A and B are shown apart, each in its own frame.
Chain A
Amino acid sequence: MLYREAGQFKSSYASDQAIFPIRQDKIGIALILVVALLVVPFVASNYVLNSILVPFLVFSTAAIGLNIVTGYCGQVSLGTGGFMACGAFFAFKLTTAFPDIHIILIFLLAGFGTALVGIVFGLPSLRIKGFYLAIATLAAQFFLIWMFTQNPWWTNYNPAGVITAPPRALFGDFYITGVRATPVGKYLFLVCFVTILALVAKNLVRSALGRAWMAIRDMDIAAEIMGIRPMMAKLSAFAVSSFFIGISGALWAFIYTASVEALAFEVTRSFQVLFMIIIGGLGSILGSFLGAAFIVLLPILLNSAPAMVGIRMSTELLTHLEFMIFGALIVFFLIVEPQGLARLWQIGKEKLRRWPFPY
């Protein structure tokens, strides 16, 4: 009943192809945005903003990126960490070399740079498939990290090889990086920026390009016979994916931790993002957000839960337990819903539609 679309007529192609064809969805999204922009900044503590919401939004961007190449185009990539590092270091080099360029443009340029790198490392996908490809993308991961650690040029010859985000303002005195940036400011910027990126991604996967990706994913030979050029489709997927991942790396370095060394983007980061899209749902933009929320929140919850309910245990045991429960929950989720949280949401929607009179 809550989700009934009866009475909502679509009288034009435009309305038929809307991202949110149902009124309830539109209201829901609007509500979420209103809460995120107008309510959360006032009620959330700095801890929640800095350590939960900001990394959640940064990770969501990375998850969207990986979802494009893995979820939509079917090419499993484990090079996410390396591409994030690309974004971070490109943005750092650009903004220190040209301090006058606006920071948003810097982020976008870093994304484009990463897209080029993504195309290069996507080339093997034309020949290698499946797990072989997944492991081959690790070459990108290890090579890129090595490149950024070994060449001091990337860090402007910082003796320790660490880049620190210089202060940059969005406009006037509204700083989003550096000491003068406030958690609320960072958060608000990220909400707007990531929303726009997600919209772009959503529209891309609905376009002809997106359909080509999905055709390749479902059966590449069949797609080729239908006239889709695998090279174009695969490489464009790698490029677009790397664009998003690169931006998320830049956001990570500039807004989340404010200072990084290349090791921050080592291979565990790649697995983390892969977890997000699998738990969230392959081939779903919504799933990217859900997965990111799950993977960001879960360890923190597991780690701070005992203290909240008043159990004191040693830090050591706590971390080991956190690992065990995290692993067990992953398996549990894969067993009960292999298609991810996004699928769960879909099932929920179906139920709500018939509620309270299921048939």
Chain B
Amino acid sequence: MKTKALLTAAAGAAVLATSLWSPEPAAAEGEQFVPGLQYRSGPYAPSGIPFANGFADYLTMLNARDGGINGVRIHYDECDTAYNNDRGVECYERLKDAGPSEPAAWNPLSTGITYALIERVAQDEAPLISMGYGRADASDGRVFPWVFTLPATYWAGADAIIQYIEEQEGTLEGKDIALVYHDSAYGREPIATLERLAEQEGYNLHTFAVAHPGLEQQATWRQIGRQLRPDWTVMWGWGVMNSTAIQTAASVGYPMDRFIGIWWSGSEPDVRPAGSDARGYKSLGFHAPGADFPAIQDIVTHVYDEGEGFGEREAIGEVLYNRGLMNAVFVSEAIRTAQARFGERPLTGEETRWGIENLHITDERWDELGLGGFAREIRITCEDHEGGGSAFVQQWDGESWEIVSDWIQPRNDELRPAYEASAAQYAEQNGIELRDCDAEE
């Protein structure tokens, strides 16, 4: 009996396994494939879900409202990475050939998965957009032709935060600044920049690592709130680490308006669990929060009223939702740019890459998209895969995020050499020859 049951199970598994062997394209020809490496499960799901919804809803809206991009419909398919690097790689390999056309661009929303994919996309000739995460030095397009870091890197973010603090304080000389960071590839990205600036500006940097997933922060905050009492605390957190940090900071009485997070530590799920304690908390941002944009209203009417929405209606306009949407805008605008040159048809990865590399979203273009004032002008070139880098500070008032600063332009004259030096080191280690951007048109 036992053996029989097992044998049937084995046979079933074998049938499924053979069907894995030959993945067949599921969708109609003539559509542009956009893969989604999202995470709707696992420890970071609360942050991953709104992002994934914003991304998917915008593409669905383009299909519903305009019939795609210039008549080319978008085929969107997603795979759940659970914020796990090897699952991310598996998802990448699975989706790579699963669409009706070559994938337009990969957006893994994870610094770790970005690192794991950098070599693969170079081999497979597919562009990789790490929007505000990933490897900062990948903004040097001569070494990383396939990777894009628009609209800002972590190093630019660190620079912007320090500029903001300097503006508030007058001078940074002798000030204490603490960094609370997620102990992973992601959290460690800003340290080098902050250390460099500490030397330059004369502040004292204290770093506090928080182990994944970030539930244990009592000791960290006791040190910060009761002993060190720094003038400012900067946070590089993600997922549950953010909300835990804000709650623990409040429980030791650290002043919220001197606590500032990177753009991944500033969304609604981060501040809501702390309730009124979170009032005054600040974070960076590079796009406006809220749903008062014509394009987002189009999502409501064309997608949610039709019952096609991915998430809850109430979550539209949340920070991470809008960020997913912004990522989708970058992908779709890159496709549009590339179509203008290569024709209105599904594009290859190589062609989309050209599209991203020549992407130029002006303020007028944001207006045309129905997103006037949503984000800043972005211009990518062959050398500069970041294309902007500026950010602003937003503050939680207990109900919603309010923008409380002007756009802060990072000091690119200092950052650029740092990107290039780091990229050059990578190029040397991996035997990559620099692209000659002047030779290309």
B is a partner of A: yes
Complex interface: stretch among B183-191, B330-338, B343-351? B183-191
Q: Are B41 and A320 in contact (CB under 8 A)?
A: yes
Residue A47 is within 8 A (CB to CB) of chain B in the complex = yes
Complex interface: stretch among A21-29, A72-80, A126-134, A302-310? A302-310
C-alpha gap A276/B295 in the complex (Å): 49
Q: Which of B16, B17, B189, B191 has its CB near the most chain A CB atoms (within 10 A)?
A: B16
Residue B86 is within 8 A (CB to CB) of chain A in the complex = yes
Given known pairs A260-B85, A301-B13, A308-B19, the reply for A160 and B90 (CB within 8 Å) is: no
- A85-117 vs B: 1/0 string, CB under 8 Å? 000000000001000000000000000000000
Residue A344 is within 8 A (CB to CB) of chain B in the complex = yes
- A290-303 vs B: 1/0 string, CB under 8 Å? 00000001101101
Q: Are A308 and B90 in contact (CB under 8 A)?
A: no
Q: Are A161 and B188 in contact (CB under 8 A)?
A: yes
Q: Are B189 and A263 in contact (CB under 8 A)?
A: no
Q: Are A266 and B119 in contact (CB under 8 A)?
A: no
Residue B166 is within 8 A (CB to CB) of chain A in the complex = no
Query: A222 to chain B: which residues have CB within 8 Å?
Result: none
Given known pairs A159-B189, A259-B115, the reply for A264 and B86 (CB within 8 Å) is: yes
From 132 to 172 in chain A, residues with beta carbon under 8 angstroms from any chain B beta carbon are: 146, 149-150, 159-162, 164, 166-167
Residue B26 is within 8 A (CB to CB) of chain A in the complex = yes
Residue B78 is within 8 A (CB to CB) of chain A in the complex = yes
Residue A195 is within 8 A (CB to CB) of chain B in the complex = no
Query: B115 to chain A: which residues have CB within 8 Å?
Result: 160, 162, 164, 259, 261
Given known pairs A51-B90, A51-B93, A266-B212, the reply for A159 and B21 (CB within 8 Å) is: no
- B70-86 vs A: 1/0 string, CB under 8 Å? 00000000111010011
- A309-320 vs B: 1/0 string, CB under 8 Å? 000001110111
Residue A50 is within 8 A (CB to CB) of chain B in the complex = yes
> What's the minimum C-beta distance from B439 to chain A, rounded to whole angstroms?
21
Given known pairs A146-B211, A336-B2, the reply for A301 and B17 (CB within 8 Å) is: yes
User: In the complex, which of the residues B78, B189, B191, B430 contacts A166, with contact meaning CB atoms closer than 8 Å?
Assistant: B430
- A46-67 vs B: 1/0 string, CB under 8 Å? 1110111001000000000000
> What's the minimum C-beta distance from B132 to chain A, rounded to whole angstroms?
15
Given known pairs A47-B97, A160-B189, A261-B115, the reply for A316 and B26 (CB within 8 Å) is: no
User: In the complex, which of the residues B93, B118, B430 contacts A50, with contact meaning CB atoms closer than 8 Å?
Assistant: B93
From 212 to 237 in chain B, residues with beta carbon under 8 angstroms from any chain A beta carbon are: 212
C-alpha gap A256/B384 in the complex (Å): 31
Given known pairs A159-B188, A344-B6, the reply for A47 and B40 (CB within 8 Å) is: no
- A166-192 vs B: 1/0 string, CB under 8 Å? 110000000000110000000000000
C-alpha gap A316/B96 in the complex (Å): 20
From 12 to 31 in chain B, residues with beta carbon under 8 angstroms from any chain A beta carbon are: 13, 16-17, 19-23, 26
Chain B residue nearest to A298 (CB atoms) is B13
Residue B252 is within 8 A (CB to CB) of chain A in the complex = no
Q: Are A318 and B21 in contact (CB under 8 A)?
A: no
Query: A207 to chain B: which residues have CB within 8 Å?
Result: none
Interface residues on A, range: 35 or more
Chain B residue nearest to A142 (CB atoms) is B211
Residue A337 is within 8 A (CB to CB) of chain B in the complex = yes
Residue B369 is within 8 A (CB to CB) of chain A in the complex = no
Q: Helix, strand, loop or mixed for chain B's interface?
A: helix
Q: Are B119 and A150 in contact (CB under 8 A)?
A: no
C-alpha gap A160/B79 in the complex (Å): 26
C-alpha gap A51/B94 in the complex (Å): 8
C-alpha gap A48/B52 in the complex (Å): 27
Q: Are B80 and A319 in contact (CB under 8 A)?
A: yes
Query: A314 to chain B: which residues have CB within 8 Å?
Result: 40, 310
Residue A203 is within 8 A (CB to CB) of chain B in the complex = no
User: In the complex, which of the residues B49, B80, B86, B429 contacts A256, with contact meaning CB atoms closer than 8 Å?
Assistant: B86
> What's the minimum C-beta distance from A327 to chain B, rounded to whole angstroms?
14
Residue B422 is within 8 A (CB to CB) of chain A in the complex = yes
C-alpha gap A55/B89 in the complex (Å): 11
Q: Are A47 and B94 in contact (CB under 8 A)?
A: yes
Residue B404 is within 8 A (CB to CB) of chain A in the complex = no
> What's the minimum C-beta distance from A351 to chain B, rounded to whole angstroms?
8
Q: Are B93 and A46 in contact (CB under 8 A)?
A: yes
C-alpha gap A260/B23 in the complex (Å): 28
Residue A120 is within 8 A (CB to CB) of chain B in the complex = no
From 122 to 172 in chain B, residues with beta carbon under 8 angstroms from any chain A beta carbon are: 122-123, 135-136
Q: Are A45 and B21 in contact (CB under 8 A)?
A: yes
> What's the minimum C-beta distance from A101 to chain B, rounded to whole angstroms?
16
Residue A37 is within 8 A (CB to CB) of chain B in the complex = no
Query: B429 to chain A: which residues have CB within 8 Å?
Result: 96, 164, 166
Residue B431 is within 8 A (CB to CB) of chain A in the complex = yes
Query: B191 to chain A: which residues have CB within 8 Å?
Result: 159
Given known pairs A161-B185, A166-B429, the reply for A347 and B38 (CB within 8 Å) is: no
- B35-66 vs A: 1/0 string, CB under 8 Å? 00010111000000100100000000000000
C-alpha gap A266/B42 in the complex (Å): 14
Q: Are B116 and A300 in contact (CB under 8 A)?
A: no
Chain A residue nearest to B16 (CB atoms) is A301
Given known pairs A261-B112, A316-B40, the reply for A162 and B119 (CB within 8 Å) is: no
Chain B residue nearest to A305 (CB atoms) is B16
Q: Are B123 and A336 in contact (CB under 8 A)?
A: no
Query: A315 to chain B: which residues have CB within 8 Å?
Result: 38, 40, 52, 78-80
Q: Are A264 and B21 in contact (CB under 8 A)?
A: no
Q: Are A164 and B119 in contact (CB under 8 A)?
A: yes
From 243 to 265 in chain A, residues with beta carbon under 8 angstroms from any chain B beta carbon are: 256-261, 263-264
Give 26 A-B contacts (CB < 8 Å), ordered by A residue. Answer: A45-B23, A45-B97, A46-B97, A47-B23, A52-B20, A96-B429, A149-B183, A149-B209, A150-B183, A159-B189, A160-B115, A160-B188, A256-B89, A257-B86, A257-B89, A258-B120, A261-B112, A261-B115, A297-B17, A300-B20, A300-B94, A301-B16, A301-B20, A315-B80, A319-B82, A351-B3
Q: B residues near A, CB below 8 A?
A: 2-3, 5-6, 13, 16-17, 19-23, 26, 38, 40-42, 49, 52, 78-80, 82, 85-86, 89-90, 93-94, 96-97, 111-112, 115-116, 118-120, 122-123, 135-136, 183-186, 188-189, 191-192, 209, 211-212, 310, 422, 426, 429-432
* Pairs of residues from A and B, 7 with the lowest C-beta to C-beta distance, nearest first: A319-B41, A316-B40, A160-B185, A51-B93, A319-B80, A51-B90, A261-B185
